[in-house]
Every structure is written in structure tokens, then in C-alpha cells.
Amino acid sequence: MQRLHLVFGGELVDPSKNVFKDVSDLHIVGMFPDYATAYDAWKSEAQRTVDNAHMRYFIAHIHRLRDEERPASPTEELG
């Protein structure tokens, strides 16, 4: 199984919460094949924006969202 990781971030409404100010303005850094490269990308973006307390970057574990052994849900079959 591939262990895909998505790195993304954006400006938060409040630095103490994880609510984005404008979801349409999210910065998608990229998809990475392992945690180590995703972490390096996350760290680079976090350091680049360190002066803005409202900017936050995250690593999403995409591989945890799918289980290839389970049947697809009805909504996945629509596409």
C-alpha cells in the first residue's frame, strides 16, 4: 500500500483553532509518498511563514482515508 501524505495550509480565523479564514485560498504544497518527505515540505512552509501567527500548515495522512479491501461506497460509484 502507498502511504500518501498531503501537505496544505492557509490562514486561520483564530490561531488557537483549526478553522481556515478562506478555504478557497488554501495553499496545497503537494502530495508526498512518505511521511519523511511530507514532513520536510511541511517544515519548510511552516518556517517560511513563521512570522504570521495565523498561518498554519498540516500533514494529512491520505492513505488512512482509503481501505482498498473494502467495497466502494455508493457515492464513489457515481463518478
Read off the pLDDT of residues 23-79 as tens digits, 9 standing for 90 and up.
999 999 999 999 999 999 999 999 999 999 999 999 999 988 766 676 666 655 555
Query: How far, in Å, CA of 41 to CA of 29, rounded?
Result: 7
- Domain formed by 5-70, architecture: 2-Layer Sandwich (3.30)
Degrees (nearest 5) of the Cα angle 47, 29, 53? 35
Read off the pLDDT of residues 24-38 as tens digits, 9 standing for 90 and up.
999 999 999 999 999
pTM of the predicted protein model: 0.79
In this structure, are residues 34 and 76 in contact, taking their beta carbons and an 8 Å threshold? no
